[in-house]
Structure 1
């Protein structure tokens, strides 16, 4: 049997050693390891031009490779140190080096593939002393076959089994007694050498890509499901709204009342007389608490921006007075404090007479608790707005009373997209009957919405902007009057301008919920003026649901239905109601109101 040529050393040269062909095998192995340890990322691969390897150079290469693997280098640098000395004729140290590569925790699949190309890896796959995990990796990466398969004779002779094709000889210059190998043969041999490792690398990469695509598809599916769930149930990620926790909150409120820390006209009924009874929790998210209760047989809503009374910053005037031992405060100073809080909450400068709904009244034995309670309420923008509007607007909820930081308002069933008409109509006067009754109820609610738009636009010293328009933030009374029940995102003009005026790089940066502005790219600043309107948003988010399809089936004539649909589409278009002149928006408003009144007359005539 012809003796097989020992493989040549495959060395990595640093950039300064490119093209060197007369370097010895030992020197090449040393430079290879040093290059890897230095952390160089731009590497040049070439065949070492040394003659056939003696028994010394492979041993030196194996020692250097083992030392490199034992050094604290990143995993990506270690595979090279073990792969360069491919002339592993010695058996002990080379197997140790290959085992180090295969068992290293941080090695990637590609690194293990490269390490498996070592002839010593084949020997490693059949050693009983190797850990099962390392042996399994070696077998998977090298396409291992049992001992009675191909290559068994080579292993019996003490040579590395041909689990991969033999390495080709390095292309070297023709020397004495050596003929230059034809390029075609060299190419064929090189292709034979790289075929199986290349296939293994391609298989690993294909497997990795498939796993990555499967993981991406799985993640995308969960993200889509979560998005749909949040769209259908926005409060799914909020804190749990439980009766137990709600009762604990009210119990803590009563303990503070009994201790004199807070007061209110509802505290006695809640904590002593038992005339204000908790029923259920309606909303519990981001600190905001909304509870339903019965107050002397009347359903009410208890609201607070925070759970605990201590969560609100205390009134500094009270703390200063306590330090100085004072018991009285100048009324003018208190009015200034209240006016300052109103200005912070609403952006309005109000005269002293307009603050009367917020004033605590006469001084009594619990005056300090009264001021502390008022201060906690003034830090809740919705309470301030409801208090100022309760005698001025029928489209806002009146404040019925308070206890500490909780205030009570009238209970009205909120709207919901689940209702066919967006709002529950069962509690309305008489209740709508049939398609004609529902069409009349919808037209009444639509006219009430228009009345609210006109009221918020013209009846105050500043326009009131609604920046969160959705059915859940409105309710209807028994006479179909629309009431805003959640005004956390309602702002008068001065506050609206302050909110909109901010830095931007495009128009999308100037959108604050349902209130839009335009970005001036010359100064990268949002305009302070809102470019859409309450009317446009209500037409888009409320009226489209009512009038984009047949209203009340055959209750209305087809021409009337088409006129309403076209008018709502024109109203919902921001170009018609916002970017045009103010007269255009007023014309759209009048047109829609005229059609709704004509609808009411048509339905009335049909009943007669």
Structure 2
């Protein structure tokens, strides 16, 4: 009986090892095919398409000249992550750039006249349209000279169809937040554009391949370093003017460093100013429960009597940070998901994730109050400072 049990156990182990080997091979092949597809098909096709549009005067911009005429860029590669946003990366004069493509849009600036010809607005009208869009979407007021510089810099009046691709850029959250908050250094700096394509500085991602195995071999000091760096980044978002920026997606493998070691977030697609996010969540949509009113990680509220979404954001950047970055879940444990995390720190983390009974902001029951946030920050800093002493002991 014991011999039979050993035989069965040995067979099970062999099958597990075989299955693991097959899964590893499939993952490797998928990664290889994915990168090869990106490089040979997506990147090359994008370059060919871009340069064709530029030659036909449909696209304009300094990036067109750099990629299609001067050919200053070298060492084209596929991105290690965020292939949905970044088309390819390349080097120029020793610097690493990421070339991105603005999202497709439905609203059209063009209309057809009685002769069935496409008509574009005058450049002055386009100024007003862009200015109104920026004011309504980002609560940022730009004077006419700034709007003129933003709009006129690369649009040729002889080819009004170029407006369409620039309107696509202005409707792209990644592009606009990079432009509007350039001095605050929170998103990759936009360097140049070609039609709906644009180049930004490329970030050195903190954790390029978020995986369970990586967390196993991820040392405690690095966890604390990243936790503090990201928390300080969120403090900066909360202090933005004219109002805070809210992140409704937050993934550790999208935080990265610039060449001069400044921390930025690679994808601003799900970032909004506070007032606009509150309007989006309280849009009157039909609902049965609170989760029906959520937008990604940002929590909404369902009115029990009216069964519509009416409440402002119920959580905050810090609650999302605590739950998604520090705690994590499933195959992707957070930075504090380790046996080395003290119980006192875990208690603070739990209060940050669910502050509804212990210190939250008025009308936002899942937004941890200032006291909870500062206690968490100070505890992380204390542990970071004490780590060399503990290691020495």
> So what's the TM-score if we normalise by structure 1?
0.49
Partner of 1:593: 377
- Separation (CA, whole Å) in 1 of partners of 2:312 and 2:171: 26
Is 1:400 the counterpart of 2:197? The answer is no
The DSSP-based 3-state class of the residue aligned with 2:356 is helix
TM-score, with length taken from structure 2: 0.74
Is 2:243 the counterpart of 1:451?
no
Select which of 168, 171, 179 maps to 1:387: 179
Query: How far, CA to CA, are the matches of 2:256 and 2:212 in structure 1?
Result: 12
SS of residue paired to 2:89: strand
CA contact (8 A) 1:421 1:546 kept: no
1:316 aligns with 2:117: no
> Any stretches of 5+ residues in structure 1 without a counterpart?
1-228, 423-433, 552-559
Structure 2 contact 110–118 (Cα < 8 Å) conserved: no
1:546 aligns with 2:335: yes
Q: Following the alignment from structure 2 to structure 1, what is the Cα–Cα distance between the partners of residues 121 and 259? A: 47
CA distance in 2, matches of 1:249, 1:381: 21
Number of residue pairs aligned between Structure 1 and Structure 2? 345
Contact 2:57–2:159 (8 Å) recurs in 1: no
1:389 CA drift (Å): 0.9
Distance apart, 1:372 and its partner CA: 4.0
What is the Cα deviation at residue 403 of structure 1?
1.0
Aligned to 1:303, the other structure's residue is in SS state: strand
Note closer, same or farther for the CA distance 1:409–1:363 as it changes in structure 2 (3 Å cut).
closer
C-alpha change, 1:324 and 1:418, in structure 2 (3 Å) is: closer
593 and 260 in structure 1: CA distance in 2 versus 1, 3 angstrom threshold? same
Q: For residue 546 of structure 1, give the secondary structure of its aligned residue in structure 2.
A: coil
| Residue 303 of structure 1, CA deviation | 0.9
Show structure 2 runs of 5+ residues with no match. Answer: 1-25, 328-333
- Is the partner of 2:96 in helix, strand or coil? strand
- Is contact 1:536–1:577 with CA below 8 Å preserved after alignment? no
Aligned partner (choices 516, 520, 532) of residue 299 of structure 2: 516
Once residues 495 and 546 of structure 1 are traced to their aligned partners in structure 2, the CA distance between those partners, rounded to angstroms, is 31
Q: How does 1:156-555 map to 2 (within 5 A)?
A: 241=38, 243-277=40-74, 279-282=76-79, 285=84, 290-306=87-103, 315-316=109-110, 329=122, 331=124, 333-343=125-135, 346-348=137-139, 350-352=141-143, 355=147, 358-361=150-153, 368=160, 371-391=163-183, 393-414=184-205, 415=207, 416-418=209-211, 438-477=219-258, 481-501=262-282, 502-544=285-327, 545-551=334-340
Larger Rg: 1
Deviation at 1:449, TM superposition (A): 1.7
Residues 270 and 277, structure 1, Cα contact 8 Å, conserved in 2: no
What is the aligned partner in structure 2 of residue 197 from structure 1? none
Q: Distance in 2 between matches of 1:274 and 1:330?
A: 31
RMSD: 4.0
Q: 1:366 to 1:567 in 2, by over 3 A?
A: farther
Partner SS, residue 305 of structure 2: coil
Change (3 A) 1:326 1:445: closer
Q: Is the 8 A contact 2:355 2:368 kept in 1?
A: no
Partner Cα separation in structure 1 for residue 298 and residue 337 of structure 2: 23
Higher fraction of strand: 2
1:573 and 2:357 correspond: no
Return the offset for 1:492: 1.1
Q: 3-state SS of the aligned residue for 2:243?
A: coil
The answer on whether the counterparts of 2:120 and 2:161 sit within 8 Å (CA) in structure 1 is no
Distance 1:370 1:419, change over 3 A: farther
- SS of residue matched to 2:288: coil
Q: For 1:6-51, what per-residue CA distance to the aligned partner results, in whole angstroms no more than 9, with x for missing partners? A: xxxxxxxxxxxxxxxxxxxxxxxxxxxxxxxxxxxxxxxxxxxxxx
For residues 547 and 528 of structure 1, the distance between their equivalents in structure 2, rounded to whole angstroms, comes to: 31
CA 1:330–1:401 in 2, change beyond 3 Å: closer, same or farther? closer
Q: Pick closer, same or farther for the CA change 1:420–1:495 going to 2, 3 Å.
A: farther
The C-alpha deviation readout for 1:442-496, integer Å capped at 9, x for no partner, is: 3332222222222222222222111111223322357765311111111112321
- Cα deviation, 1:131-174, whole Å, max 9, x if unaligned, reads xxxxxxxxxxxxxxxxxxxxxxxxxxxxxxxxxxxxxxxxxxxx
Change (3 A) 1:471 1:380: same
Counterparts of 1:91-130 in structure 2, within 5 Å, are: none
> Shift of the alpha carbon at 1:597?
2.2
User: Could you say if the C-alpha distance between residues 290 and 244 of structure 1 is closer, same or farther in structure 2, counting changes exceeding 3 Å?
Assistant: closer
- Which digits, 9 at most, give the CA deviation of each residue in 1:315-370, with x for residues without a partner? 438x77x9999999463x332111233356x3535232664773333876766465
* Structure 1 runs (4+) greater than 6 angstroms displaced: 322-328, 419-422
How far off its partner does 1:381 sit? Answer: 2.1
